[in-house]
Amino acid sequence: MKESMYDFSILSDEELILFYSKWISELKKRNLIRTKNIVGELGEYLAIKYYNKTAGLPKLQATPTSTRSVDAISIKGERYSIKTVTGKTTGVFYGVEDNREKLFEYVIIVVMNEDYTISKILEVTWDNFIKHKHWHSRMAAWNLTLTKRLLQDSKIIYSCNS
């Protein structure tokens, strides 16, 4: 894809806003996203696509958008929560108040570069999620921070450096 094909500087502010809405509509039409959470939805789509095309990885299917805490399920019934990050901290996980109920078996963390290409895909077990979760007081929920310790306790599914 030639970057010069997409010279947005020639568009007026109004045209650029309209382009954005058309782009969102096209992403939805192609089933690349289902909501307006673009970064999260693209990460989910790309993670599921990567798992499904890679030998040795579970085949995943997206869950309905209203499914609590789970974004994909494997053909064996394993539940996956998928978080996409462009920095070091994931979005929050609700409903993990007392650790009694296992909400999912794995967390997939899709780490994106500034241009929204994938840098890494990490897989974290439920036990390692519990071990590394941090309280986000403003959101009143838990999240994960990409620390060296978390990376050591994660399975690297994909890395653009490998």
3-state secondary structure of 51: helix
- Chain mean position to CA 100: 25
Which class would CATH give 11-159?
alpha beta
Q: What is the pLDDT of residues 104-143, one digit of tens each?
A: 999 999 999 988 899 999 999 999 999 999 999 999 999 9
Q: Domain boundaries in the chain?
A: 11-159
pLDDT, tens digit (0-9, with 9 covering 90-100), for 67-85: 989 999 999 999 999 999 9
What 3-state class would DSSP assign to 102?
A: coil
